Structure 1
Amino acid sequence: MSSESQKTHLPSLLSFLLLLLSSLPKLASPSSSDSFVYGGCSQQKFIPNSPFQSNLNSLLTSLVNSAYFSSYNNFTITASDPASPVSGLFQCGGDLDQSDCAECVQHSVSQLGILCLYSAGGTLQFQGCFVKYDNTIFLGVEDKTLVLKECGISAGYGTDLLSRRDEVLTGLGCGSGLFRVGVSGYVQGMAQCVGDLDSGQCSDCLLEAIERLRGGCGAAVSGDIYLGKCYVRFSAGGVSTKAHNQQEKNSEAGKIVAIIIGLLAGVGLIIVFLSFLRKVFEGTKGEEVSSSEKEDDQTNTKGLQKKEGKVFEGTKGEEVSSSKSPSKKEDDQTNTKDLQKKKRKGV
């Protein structure tokens, strides 16, 4: 594997793992007031920068500001355009103090802006607060639609859990006020209605929720049920359904994190090992190339020396031949003159 290939694949792998880590369940405290319970958005959309969006922004700002002073409030905004009204409300848990209420509503409103972008209606239920807005009329209207039901593990039918649970649930149904609590031994219960319902509507909603909870959770140690405008929950021994489910999610998330960390460590070791092999291979190859280059240099040097020797010998031969040539010519001239003298004497 080349260094360029490693550089290309490593960021992609890390991006994938980071994306996987970011998708894991949030390891938050089960008792956190801003723990997510459920949410939903209307299918109808509004046009960005329209009068409706201006009214919606004013509404959400009013909800956040009001949460610093009260645990419930509702508004209907028509300022920018009476033809594009929008209504909204927030409801904090009766066991939440004012500062936690304000923080929960603020967080909920900010999340609604992301969850229900450009939606004409949106609902978000956290553990400690409820926020809703819509362009349809819903204030003061009873809503017993089942939104969410969760049951804890079964404790079996050989204990007094069922009798204690029924005692708590009956007390919640017969109580008064929008926020109600009940206790029977080790079983605790809580119920609440949204503040726009009157006492009769609230009791009607809670009785519906209680019947669904009794029939749907059997001998479970805990249960939570949310209808459109009210909720009821119970737990045995202080173990709530939300806490139990969150612990299971956290346990699974911990296992996944451990696996991913192991994978990251393994990938890191592989990359280091491959990098080491690449460096060793390149070092060995470099030594071979260097040795080959030295041998070629020595061979070229010897060849060049031989060529220079031959050239030197050739030049020397030419000098000797040149030095002998004039003497030979002089001898030839002397012999010619002697021959001519002899011929003259003979004549």
Structure 2
Amino acid sequence: MKSLAEALSFSSVMCYLLTSSFFFFFPHPSYSALESFIYAGCTQFKYNDGSPFETNLNSVLTSIANSASLSNFNNFKISLPGSTDSDIVYGLFQCRGDLTSSDCHNCITHAVSQLGKICIDTSGGALQLEGCYVKYDNVSFLGAVDKTVVLKKCGSSSGYDSDFLTRRDAVQAYLTGAGQYFRVGGSGKVQGMAQCIQDLSMSQCQDCLSEAIQQLKNECGSSSWGDMFLAKCYARYSVRGVSSDGGKQFRRRGWWFMICGFIFSFIYVMLC
């Protein structure tokens, strides 16, 4: 079977009106900071109700929700008695590095609930919220390096502002060399944040973040803010908070990606 990184579908009610193979993105809603939607994706492959795979998946998601009250990261491989190799479910979660245990648990609980509404009966799914990330799949992705660009967004150009550019470059240099899984830094009006999924080694994390930050430089230039989410890490910077714009669509490695506008944000809020 193909993995989540090979075939994705938009599987909420609205998706069937559009396509069956979308990886979709929403702007950040303002109703809840930590639970703001950043992106999600689902495989196009379905599992059968009542199957051993469904039992294993439920066990993974329950383990994720329970574990989030104890740590900000964990990963799982579950194959209950009676399962075959194709029924194995791999999963992980991670919270942003500055969250309290309570905030982490609340964010993950919400993410697990929403993932079930977005990826209906699919064999793989991923959901990135502002404060946390959850992913599961029937093909192992644990410990695997993946620098696929999942989401990139850039703000409007700030024009030539030497102070801004100097401070932005300083923040990005700090994020590149900080040597932690979660990194934050600032210089004057410019702030930055970066994080790796903790199933990577530190050297793999460093490599992933170096790529993300280089992509930010290449893609966002003099933009006043930028987001670069790779499959296993992200880097962000802003002057006065991160915003979004929509309308861009592209295809890469067999996936469809879309950065959507207000209507999709509205649909997501209605699902919550």
TM value normalised by structure 2: 0.77
What is the aligned-residue RMSD (CA, Å)?
2.0
Residue pair 1:223, 1:240 contacting (<8 A) in 2 also: no
Structure 2 distance, partners of 1:63, 1:122, is: 14
Name 1:151's counterpart in structure 2.
154
Name 1:142's counterpart in structure 2.
145
Question: Which structure has the bigger radius of gyration?
Answer: 1
Farther off after superposition, 41-50 or 226-235: 41-50
Structure 1 distance, partners of 2:123, 2:154, is: 32
User: What pairs up with 1:92-171 in 2 under 5 angstroms?
Assistant: 92-171=95-174
Cα drift, residue 187 of structure 1:
1.0
Cα drift, residue 26 of structure 1:
9.4
Cα drift, residue 95 of structure 1:
1.5
Cα drift, residue 211 of structure 1:
0.6
Cα drift, residue 43 of structure 1:
1.5
Cα drift, residue 48 of structure 1:
1.1
AA partner of residue 47 (structure 2): F
Residue pair 1:222, 1:234 contacting (<8 A) in 2 also: yes
User: What pairs up with 1:1-347 in 2 under 5 angstroms?
Assistant: 28-29=29-30, 32-80=33-81, 81-83=83-85, 84-236=87-239, 239-242=240-243
Structure 2 distance, partners of 1:82, 1:158, is: 59
Count residues in correspondence.
Answer: 221
Cα drift, residue 198 of structure 1:
0.6
Cα drift, residue 153 of structure 1:
2.1
Name 1:342's counterpart in structure 2.
none
AA partner of residue 60 (structure 2): L
AA partner of residue 60 (structure 1): L
- The answer for unaligned runs of 5 or more in structure 2 is 1-25, 247-261, 264-272
AA partner of residue 177 (structure 1): Q
Q: Could you report, residue by residue, the CA deviation over 1:144-190 in whole angstroms, capped at 9, with x for unpaired residues?
A: 00011111222111332111111110111111110111112221111
Cα drift, residue 31 of structure 1:
6.3
Structure 1 distance, partners of 2:220, 2:28, is: 26
Name 2:5's counterpart in structure 1.
none
What percent identity do the matched residue pairs reach?
A: 51
Cα drift, residue 29 of structure 1:
2.5
AA partner of residue 123 (structure 1): A
Structure 1 distance, partners of 2:212, 2:94, is: 18
Residue pair 1:164, 1:184 contacting (<8 A) in 2 also: yes
Cα drift, residue 245 of structure 1:
5.4
Q: Which protein, 1 or 2, shows the higher relative CO under an 8 Å CA cutoff with sep ≥ 6? A: 2
Check 1:30–1:208 CA distance in 2 against 1; reply closer, same or farther (3 A cut): farther
Runs of 4+ deviating beyond 6 Å: none
Q: Could you report, residue by residue, the CA deviation over 1:182-241 in whole angstroms, capped at 9, with x for unpaired residues?
A: 1122211110000100101100000000011011111111111100000001112xx122
What SS is found at the alignment partner of 2:203? helix
The structure with more strand, counted as a fraction of residues: 2
The structure with more helix, counted as a fraction of residues: 1
Residue pair 2:27, 2:38 contacting (<8 A) in 1 also: no
- The answer for unaligned runs of 5 or more in structure 1 is 1-24, 247-251, 254-347
What SS is found at the alignment partner of 1:160? helix
Q: Could you report, residue by residue, the CA deviation over 1:265-319 in whole angstroms, capped at 9, with x for unpaired residues?
A: xxxxxxxxxxxxxxxxxxxxxxxxxxxxxxxxxxxxxxxxxxxxxxxxxxxxxxx
